[in-house]
Structure 1
Amino acid sequence: MKVVMTLLVRDEADVVDAQLGYHLHAGVDEVIATDNASSDGTTEILERYERTGRLRLIREPSDEMRQDEWVTRMARLAATEHEADWVIHADADEFWWPRGGSVKDVLATVPERFGIVRGCWRHFLPRPDDGAFFAERMTVRLATPAHPGDKETIFHAHQKVAHRAHSAVEIERGNHNAEAPGLEPLRAWHPLEVLHFSFRSVAQLERKAHGNWLRSPTYEPTAHRLLLDEAFREGRLPEHYDGHAVDDEALARGLADGTLAIDTRLRDALRGIRAYDGSFPLPGAGERLTFPRPTAADDAAYAAEASVLVEIDGIVRAEQRVRALERRLDALERGPRSLPRRLARR
């Protein structure tokens, strides 16, 4: 089995080396990356991986954000030119964590009749910014994410998609869903967690907000991005970051009431593969990461947290039915029987 990961990135130099190194140790065979006009050193990191032959780099210099188009292009390339069996779609701040075995092992267990599997977002919260490597600081996980309808916070429940390679696949904006003929989703099972590290430092938020501000007028940001843009324009980014950060007092309260959890899995995994100079070399023999099975208590907590994704899946199915109906209506409008009606309108 061959697993290919797609990655759309812009100005994520603080995390992208760890993200690539981690996944190449976790069962991903190759990466197709699109670099959207990075200027902070991200491009140089991608080029280093490109020279190893494990990453294909596509450059998009435009400020116009076309995420669904660019990720769909990478997904189709994975099928047509990279001979992938499975494709996972990640952002630079996401780390796909298999619940036992490797990413490849988990995907190998999916019955043949299913072609889409979804991973569950698990949010890691910012801590006071002391300049340390993000994974060393960010070991506090939100155990009760916001409802999916709360779009003003990025810390809401959601799912990300992996699918069998297909030359005609289409990827939804945000990598939350995939569609292609014959790709049947495996519902209500999330064997992959997506560890999410979105707010890492004030400097990282400044790069993110600056990139948002440069987007073309056709880009439609989410509500939480609009709040970030507003803080950037008003010079309130440190306060915006602090408003999301968890200090020691808040951590103690969250651990006591069960809304927060200490989770050192990524920190420990990255410690195991990180070189002395801070980089992440490619895996050699015997150096791949291992992922033990969760405990019964972990499984129970995860099942409760992931249960809200059933509601999201219902929304996705309804949207798919609406799009299918719109396509049928459009076909009827363009069909031979519509000619008299079109002539009558004239």
Structure 2
Amino acid sequence: MKLAMTIMVRDEADIIAAMLDHHEAQGVDTFIVTDNGSVDGTTEILERYAAEGRIDLRHDPVHRKQQAPVVTQMARDAYTRYGADWVINADADEFFLPVDRTKTLHEVFEQIPKTYLSFLVPVVNLTGAPAKDGTGFDRLVYRDARTQDQLELAGVRAHPTPDAVHIGSPDIDVIQGNHFVSLASQGSPPPELAIEVLHLPWRSWKQYKNKVEISGRAYESNPELTPSPNHHGMRDYARLKAGALLPYYFMRHPTPEELEQGAVDGTLVRDDVLADALTAPVPDADFDKATRKAQLAFSEALRYDRVQRAKRIASGFEDRLEAAAEREADLAARLALVEGEAAALRSRRVVRATDRLARLVRRR
């Protein structure tokens, strides 16, 4: 069984080496990587891996959010050039793992029937404290299972969309974001062979600011594309251009009090699997005390504003429900009155008809 992985990457020098090392240790046989015009040192890292024969490195410097056709070609090549039985299309900040940590990816895929054709793999965000710079393996160690209401208060629209993996195919199509493929799923692995993705989307302020900017510009240059419904980038891009993104970055991370409560209610559970196995390519660097204090205060004010707005919306909704109920009761009363009048009218008509029939009988 041959397992291949495709990656399209741009400016991920803080994590790409660790990501490749992780999946190599997990038994991925072939890596096809396309560098999308990186300028932060990612290209040089990938060139070293290519020189060692560890990856098939390609270059595509165009910045028009052309991920779908590029990944599709890599996925097809995984089969036609390398004979891949299974193909994983991943992002640089995604770490695929068996849920059963005693197994490797390769061992799991060996047991998954190819008759499934494709299946979805759930993606779990890892979160923790914010930082000015750094990969964050030792800091982002909490599985984010917050409720939808809690996510909204943190400025996050939803949990990430699952990723699709598929069998090797010469005519596979991979849809924007790696979330869907053209091979319809015919089954999913049983619990003992389950796979998940640990995702580190907001590793540091430096990384996230750059990610928002390059993603926003790419979408602007290709208006034919529409971001995923769970995509936060375009809203954050507007905030970046307005000079208001940093407090939203802070707001996205749970406070110490929230981490403590999350450990109790199961919405923020510690998971050190990456921290124990990997060395962070870029060490963490914190904000200065004044900046951290100011931004935390700002983000708390934003959260408070969201709470108040939610209360106003809820209150308005309740008022509308009450008004609707009153209108419904009024309509029901009017309907009952009309039905009563209609019944009386029918009764009078019956009486009149009976009287006429009686008169006719008497005449005969």
TM-score range, shorter chain: 0.7 to 0.9
| Counterpart secondary structure, 1:227 | helix
Q: Is the 8 A contact 2:114 2:167 kept in 1?
A: no
Matched AA of 1:217: N
Alignment-derived partner of residue 40 in structure 2: 40
In the other structure, the counterpart of 2:278 is 270
> CA 1:94–1:173 in structure 2 vs 1: closer, same or farther (change >3 Å)?
same
CA apart distance, 1:236:
2.1
Match in the other structure for 1:134: 136
* Cα distance, 1:154–1:134 mapped onto 2, change above 3 Å: farther
Are residues 145 and 57 of structure 1, via their aligned partners in 2, closer, same or farther at CA, if it must alter by over 3 Å?
Answer: farther
The AA in structure 1 aligned to 2:115 is R
Pick one of 106, 110, 121 that aligns with 1:108: 110
Name the structure 2 match of 1:259: 267
Q: Which one has the bigger helix percentage?
A: 2
Match of 2:121 among 119, 122, 134: 119
Change (3 A) 1:200 1:145: farther
Pick closer, same or farther for the CA change 1:145–1:178 going to 2, 3 Å.
Answer: farther
CA distance in 2, matches of 1:268, 1:239: 30
Contact kept? 2:130, 2:205, Cα under 8 Å: no
Q: Percent identity?
A: 34
Asked whether the 8 Å contact 1:161–1:177 carries over to 2, the reply is: yes
Alpha-carbon shift at residue 67 of structure 1 (Å): 1.2
Q: Does the alignment pair 1:156 with 2:159?
A: yes
Change (3 A) 1:22 1:185: same
In the alignment, the residues of structure 2 paired with residue 267 and residue 155 of structure 1 have an alpha-carbon distance, to the nearest angstrom, of 25
In structure 2, what is the Cα distance between the partners aligned to 1:230 and 1:170?
Answer: 31
Q: 1:141, 1:235 → 2: CA distance?
A: 30
- Unpaired runs of 5+ residues, structure 1, are 279-346
- Per-residue CA deviations over 1:51-93 (Å, capped at 9, x if unaligned) read 1112111111111111111111100010111121111011011
- Separation (CA, whole Å) in 2 of partners of 1:56 and 1:203: 28
| Deviation (angstroms), 1:113 | 2.3
Task: Evaluate the alpha carbon distance shift between residue 192 and residue 51 of structure 1 in structure 2; reply closer, same or farther with a 3 A threshold.
Answer: same
The one-letter code matched in structure 2 to 1:268 is: D
Change (3 A) 1:60 1:23: same
Please give the per-residue CA displacement for 1:133-186, whole angstroms capped at 9, x wherever unaligned: 411110011124649xx9x83651531111110001111211112224xx6432
- 1:242 partnered with 2:247: no
Q: 1:174 to 1:259 in 2, by over 3 A?
A: same
Deviates more, 1:165-174 or 1:210-219: 210-219
The answer on whether the counterparts of 2:68 and 2:177 sit within 8 Å (CA) in structure 1 is: yes
Checking the alignment, whether the CA contact within 8 Å between 1:89 and 1:161 is kept in structure 2 is yes
Give me the CA root mean square deviation: 2.3
- 2:157·2:232 contact (CA, 8 Å) conserved in 1? yes
Amino acid at match of 1:254: G
Q: Which has the larger radius of gyration?
A: 2
Q: Answer whether contact 1:123 1:145 (CA < 8 A) is retained.
A: no
Q: Which amino acid aligns with 1:186?
A: G
For residues 159 and 105 of structure 1, the distance between their equivalents in structure 2, rounded to whole angstroms, comes to: 21
Contact 1:13 1:42 in 2 (8 A): yes
User: Which secondary structure does the structure 2 equivalent of 1:172 belong to?
Assistant: coil
Of 206, 217, 222, which aligns to 2:222? Answer: 217
Using the size of structure 2 for normalisation, the TM-score is 0.69
Aligned to 2:63, the other structure's residue is in SS state coil
Judged with a 3 Å threshold, the aligned counterparts in structure 2 of structure 1 residues 214 and 123 are, in CA distance, closer, same or farther, namely same
Q: Distance in 2 between matches of 1:196 and 1:16?
A: 13
2:235 to 221, 227, 232: 227
Aligned to 2:12: 12
Q: Deviations over 1:269-310 (max 9, x none)?
A: 215xx89x99xxxxxxxxxxxxxxxxxxxxxxxxxxxxxxxx
Residue of structure 2 aligned with 1:206, choices 200, 204, 209: 209
Q: Conserved in 1, the CA contact under 8 Å of 2:5 and 2:87?
A: yes
* In 2, Cα distance between equivalents of 1:95 and 1:37: 23
TM-score (norm 1): 0.72
1:52 counterpart residue number? 52
Instruction: List gaps (5 residues or longer) in structure 2.
Output: 284-364
| Contact 2:134/2:203 (<8 A) preserved | no
What is the DSSP-based 3-state SS (H/G/I as helix, E as strand, rest coil) of the residue aligned with 1:178?
coil
Partner residue in 1 for 2:303: none
